[in-house]
Structure 1
Amino acid sequence: MAGYQLRRSLLYVPGNMPSMLQNIPLFECDAVLIDLEDAVPLNEKDAARVLVRCFLDQYKERNKEILVRINGLDTKWALDDLKTVLPGMPDGIRLPKADSPEIVERLDTLLTEFEEELELDIGHFRILPSIETALGVINATSTAKASTRLIGLAFGAEDYTATMEIERTKSGEELFNARMRVLWAAKAAGIQAIDTIFADVNDMDSLRRETELIKRLGFTGKCMVNPRQCDVIHDVFAPKAAEVEHALQIIDAIKRAREMGTGVISLGGKMIDAPIVIRAARVLRTAQAHGLVDIEISEEDIYGTE
C-alpha cells in the first residue's frame, strides 16, 4: 500500500476458528494478526494452518493488512506454518519471541527462499517481530535493524511480565521501561512501534487511558483481542481538529518564511523551525490517512528546496 500506512489497530484472530476468520473482511481494524501460536492448542496446529491457508486463498481482494503469527522458529511447527500459509499471500509474518536479531535474520532468509520458489520479488513478505521477553527488550535496538523487511516492532506484555515474574496491572507502571526500550529501538530504526494488547475487553475506560498513554509516548498502534476495542483505539489515534488546524498553520507559516529567505518564523508568539515542521507534517500525513484532510505533504513542504 502506498504512502503512510495506518497500523493503529491490529486484531488477533485465532487461526483455528472458522467463524472468526470468515468475519475478517467485516472488522474495521487496520490489520489482522491471524494466530497460529498461542491461540491454537497443540493438537490443532496442523488443522489450523490448513484452515488459514484456505481462508487466505479465498480472501484475495483485501481491505486490510493480513499478517500471520507463526509458531516460534525454535519449534517443530514453524517451518510447516511458513510452507503452508505463504502461498496464500499474507502481507507478512508476525514473528513471536524475537529475542535477538539472529532470529529475525533467520526468518528473513527463509522468506527469501520461499519468495524464490513462488517467483515473487525479494522482500515481498514483511516482518513484524514481537518483543516479549527480558532478553528481547535488551536486544530490541539490534533486532529493529536486523532486516529491511521490518514494518515495526511490537511489544508483548503478557509474555514479558511472565518472564519477569511480575503481575501485569492496569496502571502499567511495571511496563514503562520495557515499552520505552521497544519504542526507542523502533524510532531509531525508522519503523513503527506497536503496543501490546489490553486484555479486559469490557473495560473501555481503562483501554482509552492506556491508549492515550502509549500515544503520548510515541507508539503508532496497538494490538487488540476483540473487535469492539477498535473504535476506542481509532478515536485516540485520530488527530484532533485543533491539532490539524495548527499543523496547517505551521506548514503555511514555514512556506512564508522560506519566501522571505529564512528557515524560522514566529507563529502565535512561538518559534517555528525544522523540528516543529516535521511534527506538523506527521500530524497532517496521519490526518490524510484517516481521511480528515485532503492534502498531500511533500518533502519540499517539510524541508524546502536547495
Structure 2
Amino acid sequence: MNPNKKRLRRTMMFLNAQKPGLIKDPYIYKPDSIMLDLEDAVAENQKDAARFSLYHALKTIDYHGCERVVRINGLDTPYWKEDIRCAVAGGCDAIRIPKTESAQDVKVVEEEVIQAEKDFGREEGSVLIMAAIESARGVMRALDICEASDRLFGIALSGGDYTKDLQTHITGTGIELMGARQNMVIAARAAGVQCFDTVYTDLDNMEGFKQDVQTIHLMGFDGKSIINPRQIDIVHEIFTPSQKDIIFAEKVVREIDDKKAKGIGVFTVDGKMIDIAFYDGAKRTIELAKASGVYKGDL
C-alpha cells in the first residue's frame, strides 16, 4: 500500500492551476494538501494553458512536503484523459475525480492512471485517487465508490452541485448537507478510507466557518476543502488534538495496558468510566498528534 494513503489531510486548499501566481508558493500557508484545479476554475478555452501551467509547476516548484492533488475535468468531457497524463507526467501525488457517481467511474480513472504511470516512468501505485461526490446518486453509492480501488484514499463532498441536485441551496446552517455528510462518513469508515467536507464560501463569516468546522469534526470527518489561506489555521486548530486531549489519551492507553495485564476490564480515568472500547480512540488521538507535530510524549 502507498504509505501516503493515510497521511494527514486536515486541509485541502483549492488553487486555479491556470494562474502561476497562485500556485507558485501556497506551501507558505502550510495546508496539508493543495488542490490544483483543472476543472471548474478554468474556462473551456483555457484548458491547454492550464495544463501547461500545471506541468511546469509540478516539475519546477518545491512544495515542501505539501501533497499535490490535481482535480481533473469530468469524465463526460473530452479533457480528463489528457489531464491525467499531464498530472502524472508532472509528478502529482493524487488525482481527484469530480462528479463521481459509481465505482466504475473510479475504475475507469484508475486504468488511465496505471497507463500514465507506465508511460512516464512513475513507480507503480505512486499516484493515489480521491473521489468527489456531488449528487444524490453519488451519495447513495458512497460505499461502492469507497471500495472501488486500493488507490482511493478518500471521498469528498462537493456541496454546490450536491445541493443543486437536491433542488435546494447552500445555507449558513448546513442542514441541507447533513444527510450527505453523515452517509459519506459512515461509508468512508466502513471502507477504511478518509472523508473530507465541502468548502465554506462565505469568507467574511469566520465565526460561521469555525462553527461549520467544529460540526464536521464532531461528525467524524478527516478534514475540509478550503478556498482561502485565512481558513487554514482554524481547521488545523480544531482538527489537531489539544494538550488536554493528548494527556488524557496517554492515561487511557497506559491504564488499559496495565489493567488488561491484571485482568481488569472496566476502570476510571479522571473520573470517567473507561473500558477497552476507548483504546483505539486514544491511540488515534496520539497518532494524530504525532502527525500534526504536537506530540511530545513517549508512546
| TM-score normalised per structure 1 | 0.93
Q: Tell me the SS of whatever aligns to 1:283.
A: helix
Give, in whole Å, the separation in 1 of the partners of 2:157 and 2:203.
Answer: 19
Q: What's 1:74 paired with?
A: 76
Find the partner of 1:42 among 41, 44, 59.
Answer: 44
- Percent identical among aligned pairs is 33
Specify the alignment match of 1:52 in structure 2.
54
Give the direction of change, closer, same or farther, for the CA distance of 1:198–1:224 in structure 2 (3 Å limit).
same
Native 8 Å contact 2:160 2:169 kept in 1 = no
- The partner residue of 1:92 within 82, 94, 104 is 94
Letter paired with 2:245 = E
Q: Is the CA contact (8 Å cut-off) linking 1:13 and 1:34 kept in structure 2?
A: yes
- Give deviations 1:158-183, integer Å, cap 9, x for gaps: 11011112111010111110111111
Which amino acid counterpart does residue 39 of structure 2 have in structure 1? E
User: Could you list the per-position Cα deviations for residues 135-174 of structure 1 after superposition, in whole angstroms to 9, with x for gaps in the alignment?
Assistant: 1111111000000001111111011011112111010111
- In the TM superposition, residue 21 of structure 1 has moved relative to its aligned partner by 0.9
Counterpart residue type for residue 65 of structure 2: N
Counterpart CA distance in 1 for 2:149 and 2:64 is 26
In 1, the alpha carbon distance for the partners of 2:117 and 2:4 equals 21
- Secondary structure of 2:254's counterpart equals helix
Q: Distance in 2 between matches of 1:100 and 1:2?
A: 24
- DSSP-derived class of the 2:152 partner: coil
Matched pairs, number:
297
Equivalent residue letter for 2:261? E
Q: Which residue in the other structure is 1:171 paired with?
A: 173
Distance 1:158 1:289 in 2: 31
Question: Any residues of structure 2 matched to 1:1-306 within 5 Å, and which?
Answer: 5-60=7-62, 62-295=64-297
Q: Distance in 1 between matches of 2:43 and 2:132?
A: 20
Q: Which moved more, 1:165-174 or 1:22-31?
A: 22-31
Structure 1 residue ranges, 4+ long, deviating more than 6 angstroms after superposition: none
Matches of 2:43 and 2:115, distance apart in 1: 29
Shift of 1:74: 1.9
Query: Relative to structure 1, is the Cα distance of residues 214 and 105 closer, same or farther in structure 2, using a 3 angstrom cutoff?
Result: same
Structure 2: distance between partners of 1:154 and 1:262: 41
